[in-house]
């Protein structure tokens, strides 16, 4: 079954063609970063306008690269939630029109489930159940995954998403946008021990699997000198961009790992599947890769960010079992299908 996947949940206008939920024939991503970087963040009105301008061309390019005519497409999958409402509606309405014109089924998918599906497109097929780690600019979720569409949230952020924290720190210090990529590069030449930023007190009781980033953001942006450490000679470490980036990145990832490893301990699940833009972070990947007691599966870097291939792959699973969405389906800005549970 050949599926066209369309993704427009935020600022990436993307389309892909995937066969049987595994084989990527094309994966086109038109990035809007140049239009948003002058604001150090995504401007929703600009995002939806660019999707409107680009989506037809992006879909055409995905079909051309796959060497297919629209008549060769068996179904359409499109991100319907969560995300920026205006951006979502552009992709959703285009997918409906495309499917209607060819009299083929379409399915609206959940963006977070698509990120969990992404590693399967590169050959990694973990057995269920496993732990999911969804980390991006909008979401930070630790969950138990029993099937491609059966997810129970164990923990999440009580304030800011981890990717948002990267962006806000990067914006404050002028490192660049998107913040995650710039901080990751700066941290390579920095000393992660130059600052001893605090961890949130969320390691007990009902918040054992939760994370928090508002305190870390405050410490890095407004209280930097309070957490500056001294070297072996008693001299204060330099407050250089590289040292700030390395120390912040280490603490941000350590917050994630503490909650995630609590979930490993309590569930007994040792397979972890990561997804989302922050899954591209080199320090997070190296920390989990170093755990010989865990099987940690990351998507390739080009599938960590938003893309149409993961949407098409997930959509195939629904369409293969006969599920479709009605033409009345509308977009939703919020995560709605995950249920919060504890092990």
Q: Are 14 and 65 in contact (CB under 8 A)?
A: no
Q: How far is CA 249 from CA 7, 196, 256, 257, 287, in A?
A: 29, 12, 11, 12, 12
Domains and CATH numbers, the chain: 2-117+304-340 (3.30.420.40), 127-301 (3.30.420.40)
Under-50 pLDDT residues of the chain: 337, 342-343
Q: Please, which residues have CB within 8 angstroms of residue 68's CB and are 6 or more apart in sequence? A: 2, 17, 25
Q: How far is CA 253 from CA 25, 60, 74, 280, 281, in A?
A: 34, 39, 41, 12, 9
Quote the CA–CA distance of 253 and 236 in Å, as a whole number. Answer: 24
Quote the CA–CA distance of 329 and 276 in Å, as a whole number. Answer: 25
Instruction: Report the pLDDT value the prediction gives residue 126, as an integer from 0 to 100.
Output: 86
Report DSSP state, residue 49.
H
Identify which of 295, 244, 306 has the alpha carbon closest to the alpha carbon of residue 272: 295
Q: Bridge-partner residues for 26, per DSSP?
A: 17
Instruction: Report the pLDDT value the prediction gives residue 84, as an integer from 0 to 100.
Output: 96
Quote the CA–CA distance of 19 and 73 in Å, as a whole number. Answer: 10
Quote the CA–CA distance of 104 and 71 in Å, as a whole number. Answer: 9
44-66 vs 85-102: helix crossing angle, rounded to 10: 30
Q: Please, which residues have CB within 8 angstroms of residue 32's CB and are 6 or more apart in sequence? A: 11, 12, 13, 42, 46, 47, 50
Cis amide leading into 178 (omega within 30): yes
Report DSSP state, residue 38.
G
Helix (H) or strand (E) holding 79: strand 75-81
Q: What's the pLDDT tens digit per position in 230-262?
A: 998 899 999 999 999 999 999 999 999 999 999
Quote the CA–CA distance of 160 and 67 in Å, as a whole number. Answer: 42
Task: Please spell the DSSP secondary structure of 295-325, one letter per residue.
Answer: EEE---GGGTS--HHHHHHHHHHHHHTT---
Quote the CA–CA distance of 139 and 123 in Å, as a whole number. Answer: 25
H helices present in the chain, as ranges: 33-36, 44-66, 85-102, 111-117, 162-173, 179-187, 214-222, 241-267, 282-289, 308-320
Instruction: Report the pLDDT value the prediction gives residue 342, as an integer from 0 to 100.
Output: 47
Q: How far is CA 319 from CA 75, 188, 274, in A?
A: 8, 44, 24
Region of 322 on the Ramachandran plot (φ > 0 left; ψ -120 to 50 alpha; else beta):
left
- The pTM for the full model equals 0.92
Instruction: Report the pLDDT value the prediction gives residue 338, as an integer from 0 to 100.
Output: 52
């Amino acid at each position: 079954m050949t599926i066209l996947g369309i993704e427009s949940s935020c600022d990436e206008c993307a389309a892909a063609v995937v066969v049987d939920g595994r084989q990527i024939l094309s994966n086109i991503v038109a990035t809007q970063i140049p239009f948003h970087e002058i604001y150090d963040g995504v401007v929703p009105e600009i995002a939806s306008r660019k999707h409107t301008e680009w989506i037809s061309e992006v879909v055409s390019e995905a079909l051309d690269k796959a060497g297919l005519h629209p008549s060769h497409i068996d179904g359409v999958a499109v991100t319907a939630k969560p995300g920026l409402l205006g951006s979502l509606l552009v992709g959703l309405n285009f997918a409906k029109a495309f499917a209607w014109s060819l009299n083929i089924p379409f399915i609206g998918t959940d963006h977070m489930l698509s990120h969990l599906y992404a590693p399967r497109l590169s050959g990694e097929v973990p057995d269920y159940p496993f732990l999911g780690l969804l980390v991006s600019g909008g979401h930070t979720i630790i969950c138990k995954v029993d099937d491609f569409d059966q997810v129970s949230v164990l923990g999440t952020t009580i304030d800011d998403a981890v990717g948002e924290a990267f962006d806000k720190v990067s914006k404050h210090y002028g490192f660049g946008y998107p913040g995650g990529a710039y901080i990751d590069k700066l941290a390579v030449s920095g000393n992660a021990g130059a600052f001893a930023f605090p961890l949130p007190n969320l390691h007990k009781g009902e918040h054992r699997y939760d994370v928090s980033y508002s305190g870390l953001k405050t410490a890095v942006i407004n209280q930097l000198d309070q957490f500056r450490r001294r070297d072996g000679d008693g001299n204060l470490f330099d407050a250089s961009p590289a040292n700030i980036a390395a120390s912040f990145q280490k603490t941000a990832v350590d917050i994630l790992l503490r909650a995630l490893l609590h979930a490993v301990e309590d569930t007994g699940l040792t397979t972890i599947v990561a997804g989302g833009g922050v899954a591209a972070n080199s320090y997070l990947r190296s920390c989990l890769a170093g755990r010989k007691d865990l099987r940690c599966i990351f998507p390739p870097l080009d599938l960590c960010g938003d893309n149409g291939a993961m949407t098409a792959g997930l959509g195939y699973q629904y369409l293969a079992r006969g599920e479709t969405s009605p033409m009345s389906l509308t977009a939703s800005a919020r995560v709605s299908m995950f249920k919060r549970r504890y092990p």
